[in-house]
Amino acid sequence: MWLIASHDRRVSLWKSNQQFDLCQLIDWLTFSAPSFAPDGITHDNNWESYPPSLARFIDLNLLMYIGYGIEKSIQIYNLDTKQIIRTIPLSQWCSCFDLSSIKNDEDENRLIAIGTNDRLVQLKDYTQGTFQDFIGNSDTLLNIKFIRTKSNDLLITTSSNEIFVWKILLD
């Protein structure tokens, strides 16, 4: 299964079977938003003024959606019940994000890395909602990705002309 997120807050859920050359639309989700753009002005469907719509699977039954909505937030959507089961507030609109499972001793900490247009990297704890902000890149963050190596857990951030490698340390 895979997702396609469009700029107009729609997320389509697809199932494919390469063996039979089959691709089937399973569900079509639209997330609520006010009728005005983030700058407070009504734009006639000028989607370029809106933050991007981003989605990814957490597991087989849950997906995470971040995009222009009624509030700046991460929405956790349950595919079985077809409901938003959790909302995690954000301080800024998101330009990119990634989700990681990092093991610290015997505990598993799920972190959400969020990049913004204002160069902010925010690490959020998925379970507790706590966060820490970091500034490093000199431009809008375009990509953010957790990488696990044999010796370190890393976070890679990119902007228009930079790549930063962050070492993740959990207390």
The highest-level CATH class for domain 2-142 is mainly beta
Give residue 15's pLDDT: 85
For residues 165, 112, 51 and 41, what is the CA-based torsion angle, rounded to 10 degrees? -120
Going from N- to C-terminal start, the domains of the chain cover 2-142
pLDDT higher at 125 or 68: 125
Characterize 70-82 residue by residue with b for buried, 16 or more Cβ atoms within 10 angstroms of its Cβ, and e for exposed: eeebbbbbebeee
Could you tell me what percent of the chain has a pLDDT over 70? 83
Give yes or no for residue 105 having a pLDDT over 60: no
pLDDT higher at 106 or 65: 65
- Number of neighbouring beta carbons within 10 Å of residue 93: 18
Any bridge partners for residue 123, and if so which?
A: 113, 132
Give residue 48's pLDDT: 64
Q: How far is CA 18 from the centre of its chain?
A: 27
What angle (nearest 5°) sits at the alpha carbon of residue 127, between those of residues 124 and 129? 40
pLDDT higher at 145 or 50: 145
pLDDT band, residue 106 (cuts 50/70/90): low
Q: Taking the model in full, what pTM does it have?
A: 0.78
The candidate with the shortest Cα–Cα distance to 96, out of 130, 143, 53, is 143
DSSP-derived secondary structure for 1-19: -EEEE-TTSEEEEEEEEGG
Structure tokens at 8: 């107009």
Give yes or no for residue 164 having a pLDDT over 80: yes
